[in-house]
A = this chain, B = another copy of it.
Amino acid sequence: MVINGDIIFTQNNDGFEIYENGFLVIEDGKVKAVQKDYSGNEEVINKQGMLIIPTFVDLHLHANQYANCGLGYDEELLTWLEKYTYSEEVKFKDLNYARDIFKEVLTKLWEAGSLRSVIFASLYKETSELMFNLVSEAGLSAYVGKVNMDRNVPDFYIETTEESINFTEDLIKEFNNNSLVKPIITPRFVPHCTIESMQGQGDLAKKYDVPVQSHMNESLAENVWVTELHPEYKTSTDVFEKYGLFGGNSKTIMAHCIHNTKHELELMKKRNFYPVHCPESNANLTSGIMDVKGMLEAGLPVCLGSDISGGHNLFMPKQIILAIQLSKMKARMEDDLSKVLTLSEAFYMATKAGGSFFGNTGSLEEGYSGDFLVIDTDSIMAPHEVRSPIERLEKFLYIGSPSNIVERYLQGAKIDKPFKE
């Protein structure tokens, strides 16, 4: 398979690789080459004048909060959870409700070009199981987590420690040998998991070599609470580390990582650790601005997440642009312009950095999975406007929408809109 268009991707985060009117050669679902000319015998699919870029990777989202997108941002994290979030999530005990919402979320992810994602599904085992199956049916790729929470949540929305562990293990056994849709161990965050639960989850991570996702250092009040609950430790990092949930055996995703200590940063650097920046959520919930540039310079693979419904947009370009804007505001307020994220850095976070959690995905280098989008920017150009490929990418990221994405490919196969009536 050979596709001809304006091919752009990031090999490193310090600039774009650009092949104007280039050729993307895919073989066995993987990138065989990106080249300026093509003289082989394959039929060339003509996408001249269109952009060809890697698919987006959304490393953090709550599928069972989707209906709350755009609501409740008058509160900060802990009160937002109490006031708006649990009451929505509890509805997912009803599998019919869950199915309708999950199909909508996966359709929106498809529309947005986020063909790979890492999902908080539901407290409930059957509902989480449903999500695994729907992702498969949609032809997308994801890590799906059954959310574990056995303390400090309302009576109407809690499980026992045994349920957390047993259901998590059941789902690991059922799905761990899948290739595109895989399980991820998901303690909600330190305040919502007993130490017994965390111990059990850490044991499962080790036993099955399954990755872990959670949240930490999102809000100041959360951090105070963690210290109150675990006076023997100073941070969520220490607690997770104690129970094998901090990238010890398995790679670990932690959303937010805003209010970190130096000690935590040191441990992050030693571990198989993916900090996920969720700028929209952090702005909506008054959480703060992650020191993305500092973490990148420390060599950490900072990724991007929509974090719906703390965030309200599944379209990753919105997160890319807001990440840049917030970094500029941090730079201005701290009078340190070295904190400004560049476009290629933020794009890299939303593609190759997040993609690396799935292996060789998120770039169009040789050997990478053939995951790419074809983008038509004609509708966002002004009259008479003629732009270079990189300018068209920039305009797509700033003012484009999912409607500019005309084709989506995963492992070299075109993915059609899922769940058609």
Contacts and interface: CB of A to CB of B under 8 A. Distances in A.
Interface string A379-417: 010111101000100110111010000000000000000
Interface in A295-347: 312-313, 322, 324-326, 328-334, 337, 340, 342-343
A71 interface: yes
Contact of A329 (B73, B97, B104, B329): B329
Given A325-B283, A328-B283, A313 B70 contact: no
Contacts of A322: 325
A71 B395 contact: yes
A398 B69 contact: yes
A67 B394 CA distance: 13
A95 to B, nearest CB: 13
A248 interface: no
Contacts of A337: 286
B67 A382 contact: yes
A74 interface: yes
Contacts of A380: 70
Interface in A324-379: 324-326, 328-334, 337, 340, 342-343
B326 A329 contact: yes
A71 B394 CA distance: 6
A288 interface: yes
Contacts of A328: 283-284, 286
A100 interface: yes
Nearest to A401: B401
A384 B98 CA distance: 11
Given A69-B398, A74-B343, A283-B325, A383 B332 contact: no
A287 interface: yes
B70 A397 contact: yes
A289 interface: yes
Interface string A208-219: 000000000000
10 contacts: A70-B398, A71-B391, A71-B395, A74-B342, A100-B384, A101-B382, A283-B329, A288-B329, A312-B399, A326-B329
